[in-house]
Structure formats: structure tokens, C-alpha cells
Amino acid sequence: MHIEDLTDLARAVDERCRLSGQFTLRSGRTATEYFDKYLFEADPVLVSRVAAAMVPLVPAGTDLLGGLELGGIPLVTLLSQATGIPALFVRKEPKPYGTRRAAEGGDCAGRTVTLVEDVITTGGAVVNAARLLRAAGATVTTVVCALDREEPVDSLLTPAGIEVRPALTRTMLDKGRSAG
């Protein structure tokens, strides 16, 4: 995707999803701005554009795409469709009934799984998903995300051996906003 296209996408996502107010983030921190990812994920045109920007970020050698519950599910579905790579649907924890699996959609043992997430702040949910998949025998070293909030001080991903490949970053949304 060309830089002009990414700038336009950043502007469109920012306009649709950035809210102002007082918000408590998953990490427990508070923020005066909030990125409501469900506003772009519920928009069929915008979510398709975001997923298209994520396609080239999927590393070669990926056997499965693992979408994190809940926000990663629409994105992993579109990425699977666009790349032909099968999808897994990764729960926050194994369900206590039925198959009792943490990931649905296929066996990940001995396979390379690229995680798919919507928004990353500290990466806690990604680290948890990687831990569950690694325990099931998968190799997990990369997460592709729609938006990286760029919180490197608090990031749990590097110590967990996970590379972040974002389609958009907080900096890109900020630049798109000022350019608009």
C-alpha cells in the first residue's frame, strides 16, 4: 500500500474511531482519548481497507492466522480470505466445556501461527494468546495488528519474543489528523 493510501486510511480510521473523554484502558491506565476499534470493525468498507493494509505484513511461512477474541476475529476472517491462510479463533482462555481448546479452527501443533489483533497498547492479550498457543505446540513470533498505540515503555511483547507489525500507528493517526 502506498504512503498516500496509508495516510488516507489513517485519517479515515481516526475520524471514525477516536473519541475524547475519560476512559479506562484494558491495562488499567486512564486516557483522555480512546480508539473505539469496533467503530471501524463494524464498517464493512473501512474494515476491508484496514485488512487490505495488513495483508503485506503477514510473514512468509505463516501456516495459520490466529485472531484474538474479540476484536481480532473480524480481521483474521478477512485476512484469511485475502491470503488463503487458514484462520484460528483464539480465546482468552480455554473453554471449560466441549473441546476445551484455547484456539478453534484447527490444530496448531508444529505450525507457525501469526497472531492478528485489532489494537495493541501493552500487548498483554497478545502475550496471553502466544502463551496458550505455544503450550499447544505452535511457534508464535509475530503479531499483525490494525493499530499500535506505541506504548514501548509498557510493552510486554519484546520480552515475550513477539514482533509487532502494525498497519497503522498512533503517530500515523496523529499525522493524518493534522494533515486533514
> Which domains are assigned to the chain?
3-179 (3.40.50.2020)
When computed from its CA atoms, the radius of gyration of the chain, rounded to whole angstroms, is: 16
Residue-level pLDDT at 1: 61
Please give the sequence-ordered ranges of beta strands (E in DSSP) within 82-156, or none if there are none: 87-90, 103-104, 112-120, 139-148
Residue with cell 493517526: 173
Residue 166 has pLDDT above 90, yes or no: yes
Residue-level pLDDT at 173: 92
Name the percent of the chain lying above pLDDT 70.
Answer: 96
Average pLDDT on 51-74 reads 97
Binding-site annotation, residues for orotate:
121, 149
Residue-level pLDDT at 175: 86
- Confidence (pTM): 0.92
Average pLDDT on 153-178 reads 88
Binding-site annotation, residues:
26, 91-92, 95, 117-125, 149
> Which of 2-16, 52-66, 98-112 tops mean pLDDT?
52-66
Binding-site annotation, residues for 5-phospho-alpha-D-ribose 1-diphosphate:
26, 91-92, 95, 117-125
Give CA–CA dist 98/32, Å, rounded: 41
Band of pLDDT at residue 176, cut at 50, 70 and 90 = confident
Residue 12 has pLDDT above 60, yes or no: yes
Considering only residues 94 and 111, tell me which one the structure prediction assigns the higher pLDDT: 111
Within 10 A of 80 (CB to CB), how many other CB atoms are there?
Answer: 19
Which residues on adjacent β-strands are paired with residue 90?
Answer: 68, 103
Strands 112-120 and 64-68: parallel
When the pLDDT of each residue in the chain is averaged and rounded to a whole number, the result is 92
Residue-level pLDDT at 179: 64
Tens digit of pLDDT for each residue in 89-101?
999 998 888 888 9
**Grid cell locating 178:** 493534522
Residue 61 has pLDDT above 70, yes or no: yes
Band of pLDDT at residue 54, cut at 50, 70 and 90 = very high
Residue-level pLDDT at 180: 57
Average pLDDT on 51-71 reads 97
